[in-house]
Structure 1
Amino acid sequence: MSVRLLHPSIQNGRHRGDTDHAGGILTCKCANRPVKVRVSAGIAHNHACGCTKCWKPEGSAFSVVAVAPSENVSVIDNADKLAIVDPTALIQRHACKHCGTHMYGPVERDHPFKSLSFIHPELFENGNWPEPGFAAFVSSVIEGGVDPSEMDGIRAKLREVGLEPYDCLSPALMDYIATWTAKKSGVLR
């Protein structure tokens, strides 16, 4: 059984980059007047994501997404081409109105990820971004049109390229969310 394209940067082994990558310029897919976003800090929690909200390259079942502090993310060229994909969503994904590429998505509501912006590191002009560390929301690719019969092969391929598949976020991120929630409710101090 062949496995559909996971994502170009992980299909044949994880993209290998610099773990000390200090950010750079993200560029949309437009040939004319591309949107450019500066990320002036390193990124964290880079992962493959199977959710149906994240932008994916054509034919890919997964996106590759990471976070950076929102204070270190700024539009530097052609901001007029950006629009928020879904104003009701937790992640306010700003996409290019012309090519559809999601450029950044800040979390502004009260949430454990508040003050972080989600970005797609393969859009960095410098391809030396850190490699993905896990795969999240793997079962969600079914909601995006993947036949359920492909799931065993997809999970096997993710493991083959070194990405542990989860149907939520990584255990460390789930612990962070639970800790934030417990502190907010007063269960933990």
Structure 2
Amino acid sequence: MTETLHPMLDGGLKPADPAFAGGTLVCACTDRPVKIVIKGQVLHNHACGCTKCWKPEGAIFSVVGVVPHEAVTVLENGDKLKVVDPNAVILRHACTGCGVHMYGPVERDHAFKGLAFIHAERLLEAGANPPGFAAFVSSVIEGGVDPSRMDGIRSQLKSIGLEPYDALNPALMDVLATFAARKSGALPA
């Protein structure tokens, strides 16, 4: 059975444009849409199965990447943005009209501090880095996916070139572990 993973994944991954220098994220509102400009390429773009990220209607995964927080500028209708969970590490700013998560900075003491998570499918411009892996794949079960579908979902992810992980990919897990080791003194700061 072919699953509806996400609109950016289901038709195959589109390559990045080496000239991509950023673009405009737009929410789904037809009246006063929120517009946010990002500068630079989207990094660590991935399919995410967690239950916190915004997903398009019918999608099992979100597609989320990061940019430096200073590369994010709210251009229009920022008054419609509200933080979904002020206690979360990622302060997901969602449009109060349509519910789309527009950006999520990490502001507290964390390995990802200074980054903002974005949903590249909301970019008007093409050419952002495509997803490179799938994270928190098992978490889709928490969102209501029957566990019997998981082998097929993992196979489908692999068939489009996305390695499925039940956490982040090894490189990002190393960043988190290094941050923790430096904070604890196990590694020099």
Fold shared per TM-score above 0.5: yes
CA contact (8 A) 1:21 1:43 kept: no
CA contact (8 A) 2:64 2:119 kept: yes
Which contiguous aligned blocks of 4+ residues in structure 1 show a shift greater than 6 angstroms?
Answer: none
CA contact (8 A) 2:5 2:61 kept: yes
Matches of 1:107 and 1:51, distance apart in 2:
17
1:162-181 counterparts in 2 under 5 A?
Answer: 162-181=161-180
User: What SS class does the counterpart of residue 75 from structure 2 fall into?
Assistant: strand
In structure 2, the partner of 1:119 is: 118
In structure 2, the partner of 1:183 is: 182
Post-superposition CA distance 1:77-101 (Å, at most 9, x none) = 0011111111111100000001110
Q: Over aligned residue pairs, what C-alpha RMSD do you find?
A: 1.0
Matches of 1:137 and 1:5, distance apart in 2:
17
Return 5+ residue gaps in structure 2 as ranges. Answer: none
User: What SS class does the counterpart of residue 61 from structure 1 fall into?
Assistant: coil
The amino acid of 2:166's aligned partner reads D
Identity percentage of aligned residues: 61
Return 5+ residue gaps in structure 1 as ranges. Answer: none
CA contact (8 A) 2:41 2:129 kept: no
Post-superposition CA distance 1:49-91 (Å, at most 9, x none) = 0000001110000000000000111111001111111111110
User: What SS class does the counterpart of residue 67 from structure 2 fall into?
Assistant: strand
The amino acid of 1:188's aligned partner reads L
User: What SS class does the counterpart of residue 10 from structure 1 fall into?
Assistant: helix
C-alpha displacement of 1:17: 2.4
Task: Kindly indicate whether residue 80 of structure 2 is the aligned counterpart of residue 54 of structure 1.
Answer: no
The alpha-carbon distance between structure 1 residues 47 and 20, as it changes in their structure 2 partners (threshold 3 A), is: farther
In structure 2, the partner of 1:41 is: 40
In structure 2, the partner of 1:6 is: 5
1:35-184 counterparts in 2 under 5 A?
Answer: 35-184=34-183
CA contact (8 A) 1:18 1:129 kept: yes
C-alpha displacement of 1:24: 1.0
Post-superposition CA distance 1:118-142 (Å, at most 9, x none) = 0000111102211110000000000
C-alpha displacement of 1:115: 0.7
Matches of 2:153 and 2:145, distance apart in 1:
10
User: What SS class does the counterpart of residue 56 from structure 2 fall into?
Assistant: coil
Post-superposition CA distance 1:4-31 (Å, at most 9, x none) = 2100111131132225522111000111
The amino acid of 1:156's aligned partner reads S
